[in-house]
Structure formats: C-alpha cells, structure tokens
Amino acid sequence: MRNRVVITGMGVCTGIGGSIAAFWEGLTAGRSGICLVSVFDASALPIRIAGEVKDLNLSKLKCAFPAAAGERDRKIWLGLEAAGQAVRDAGLEEEMLSDALLVVGVSLETFFLGDVSALARTGSATRTLQGILQAPQAPWLQTPLDRLTQILGDHYRQAGGRYTNCSACAAGTQAIGEGFRMLRDGMVKVAVVGASDSVLNPLAMGGFSLLQILSKENHTPERACRPFDATRQGTVLGEGAAFLVMETLEGALQRGARIYSEVLGYGSSLDAYRVTDPEPDGKGAALSMAKAITDAGLRPEQIDCVNAHGTGTPKNDIAENRAIKQALGRRAFEIPITANKSMTGHLIAASGAVEATASVLTLFENTVPPTINLAHRDPDCDLDYVSEGSRPFKGQTVLSNSFGFGGQNATLIFGRYE
C-alpha cells in the first residue's frame, strides 16, 4: 500500500528572510539577498559577494539548543533555526518526534584555516596538530558531516532513523525525496527533512572562486546572479537552510494538521559525464525529471510550473533549458519557470530544500515568484522564466530541480492539496 504524503510544517533561513513569512515576502517582491560578505573580511578575495543570512539570533539559538553552544560552523546554526521553525510550525508533539525520521542534507565539513596557521612556522603538520590537540577546549578541526543531524536528533530524542545526505547541490532535494519515499512506503509516519549549508568561510569561498563558476560582479551584488539571462557570468554563493515536516495524509488528517501541499514524486539520476561540467545536452537532468514524473504517476503535460536549478552559470542554464524541453516536450513552452537563486544565491546542499519550500509556497499561496535580473533574453534559454515579477498561479503541480557538482541530479514534484 502506498501512503499519500503531505507537508505540514516548514522552516527557512536565507539571505532574503529568516522565517517563512519573510522569505516568501522577499521572494515574491523580487528582493535580492546577495550582498558584500560581512561574516568575515572577504575584501582581499576575488569574489566578495554572497547570499548572507543577516538576522540569525545566535544567543536565542544557543538557549534553545545548548548542545550546539560551542559550534563555529554556520550551517549548524542555520539548520537548527530552520528545523526548529518547521517543528514548531507543524505543532508536532514530543512523542511523534521520537518516532520521526530525520534526513539532513549537507555538503562539506567546514575547515578553519586559521586553526592550522602554525603550519607556516613549524613546517610540520604533526607539530601543528599537536599544538591544537594540547590546547584546552580546542574547537574541532573539522565539523563532522553528521553534526547537525546528531544535534537535532538528540535534541528531539528522535530515534526513527537518521540520515546525513552529502550529495552536494542535490543533497537537499535528495533528503526530501528519500523521506518522501520512506513515508510513502510505510516505513515511518512522520519525517523531518531538509538541508543546511554555509560556504561563507575563506577556504570554501576561495576554493569555489578558483573554479571560475562564480560571478565576479562584486560592485553590483544584487544584480550579480542572473539565471537564464544572456549576460549571466556565473553563480553567486550563499548560505541558508530549509526544513519540512512531512507526514502521511492519514496521520496529518487524524491530528488535524494544516496541510501545505502534497509530495507527488521524486527521481534522481547521474550525468556520468564529467565532474567539472554538466552534460551539455541535459540528458542526465532530463532523466531525473522523467523519473520524478513517472514516480508521481503523472504525464509531462500535467506539470504546471518548474522551480529551476538555475544557477546563472553559462553552461548550467543552457543544459537545464535543454533538459526541461526534453523532459516536458511542448509543455515546457507553456508553463512558468522560476529561478530562486537569482535572489538567494546558490546555497549548495541547502538550495534544493529552500527551493522545495518555495515550490510548496507557490502552490499554497497561488503565486510564482520571479526570476530577477533577467533583462536580456538568451536565445538558448527560450522558455518562460517569469522575469516580469510575481505571477498569479492556479496550477496543480510544481516540479523542483537540483543538479549537483559531479553530475548528481534530483527532482521533486509537489501537488496542490485540496
């Protein structure tokens, strides 16, 4: 027997808003959350802009999650904030949380270069590490990838299965997709799923800047990310988190929960092409979409909106445009497509979770948010990318894409709950 799966709680934390209400208001107003980085002095870096979360209340979070008090990694805090919001929003009781499934998407451990600066003096990794290990209360050299999962799970005394997904930019979408499948197949009744990421640290921002995929437009941060625009120069990094509470429809109805939307389908695929580039024809991405459509029991003509991966890099956007046309056929030209990264920046592991939240809100609030900064049509990006501002929406379904570095693709389909 297959359960229907619905979303009953949401939490989000991004540069355009630290709550669902603020996020949605910013998104539909077309407000950019991209700015000069202030969490560290990035003035000497080639790229100095990012989608930064400004209003994170750390002291409040430290009270709420005392086990995290010593954490330096921002993705931990962002994740705790968003997950806490989602759990509160869903009104889950403690007993339900103890049996819940927890799936958390992250990308990489944060490594603090300043911790090992002694390497320059000693020339010895051993002596450098010795100094750190002997220091009282020395912070962790690497935040373990499952640290957020562990803190959240222990805080809620959750024992219904814990997964830490690290599928790069597809991690958030995969986390939600895996939770959806387990609910649908009757393995669990409630799932807290989402992702968190922050690459706003010197090594990550510096490292990504070396890959030549980032926009260098430091002078105009709010205009720097221009998915599907003919003048786009690259993506802009960001930080953020989003979590969803998902339940079986039966369980949600039994406890009288508010239902935002239904999860209809999930698919994933691999490009098997190159780690440095997307497959140029978009075949791998199209495969992911086709699998999700089949999984949902839909036909391509039943997809009413696409929340694109839309990074703003020259290669990715063309590949995605091709992929959407392959997967949806003529329907691709008839439906609105939106790219949230134009406002949030690329949140890496968290991007899929944040864009899934935007997709759910698109259905719940009957509005497609715009793709900002799209002023010059690219003939190779020839679909309806909603550039004029928010658009009213009465459709039944939204498809959300995430395509990760290395060629990991994942797609979710959400449906209106009526």
Partner 1 sequence: MKAISPTRFGGGVFDCPVCAEVNNFDPQPYLNEAKMVRLMNRDAQMAVVAARLALENAGIKARSAYRPDEIALFGATGLAGLPLGEVAPLITASTGSNGLFDLDLFGRLGLKAVRPILSFKILSNMPFCFVSINEGIQGPNAIYAPWEGNGAQAVEAGIRALSTGDAKCSLVGGCDVKTHELAFASLQQLGLFSSWCSTGTGIVPGEGAAFLVLEMERDARARGARMYGAVSSFSFRTSCPGKAMSQTREDVLQGLNAQGAVSAVVSSSSEVHSSEIKESSLLKSARISAGITLRPKPYVGDLFAAAAPLQLALGALLTEAGGAQVLVNCFGHGSTQAAFLLDKI
C-alpha to C-alpha distances, 224 to 27, 218, 267, nearest whole angstrom: 16, 8, 31
**Region near partner 1 per CB under 8 A, out of 15-23, 42-50, 302-310, 365-373:** 42-50
The pattern of x and - marking residues 315 through 354 that bind partner 1 according to CB under 8 A reads: ----------------------------------------
Residue type, 369: P
With binding defined as CB under 8 A, does residue 128 bind partner 1?
yes
Tell me: does residue 69 bind partner 1 (CB under 8 A): no
Query: For residue 221, how many other CB atoms are within 10 A of its CB?
Result: 22
In whole angstroms, the minimum distance from the beta carbon of 349 to partner 1 comes to 9
DSSP strand pairing (101-105 vs 162-165): parallel
- The rounded distance, in Å, linking the Cα atoms of 298 and 36 is 43
Q: Which residues contact 174 (CB under 8 A, 6 or more apart)?
A: 105, 165, 167, 268, 352, 402, 408, 410
174: its two tokens: 């995969």
163 belongs to the binding site for partner 1 (CB under 8 A) = yes
Question: Site for partner 1 (CB under 8 A): which residue of 208, 260, 385, 403?
Answer: 208
- Selected from 29, 62, 216, 273, the binder of partner 1 by CB under 8 A is 273
Residue 109 within binding range of partner 1, rule CB under 8 A: yes
CA distance 401 to 170: 9
CB of 398 to partner 1, least distance (A): 22
* Helix, strand, or coil (residue 375): coil
Binder to partner 1 among 73, 89, 178, 247 (CB under 8 A)? 178
Question: Where would I find the H helices in 20-93?
Answer: 20-29, 58-64, 74-90
Considering the complex, what minimum distance in angstroms separates the CB of residue 96 from partner 1? 15
Q: How far apart are CA 240 and CA 9, in angstroms?
A: 17
- Is 369 a binding residue for partner 1 by CB under 8 A? The answer is no
Q: Which stretch binds partner 1 (CB under 8 A): 85-93, 198-206, 322-330, 378-386?
A: 198-206
Judged by CB under 8 A, which of 35, 39, 56, 119 binds partner 1?
119
- In the complex, what is the shortest distance from the CB of residue 35 to partner 1, in angstroms, rounded to a whole number? 18
If one asks whether residue 39 binds partner 1 (CB under 8 A), the answer comes out as no
Q: Which residues are catalytic?
A: 169, 309, 346
Residue 186: CB minimum distance to partner 1, A? 12
Q: Which is nearer to partner 1, 212 or 231 (CB)?
A: 212
Q: Give the Å distances, CA to CA, from 415 to 8, 168, 394, 397.
A: 13, 26, 11, 4
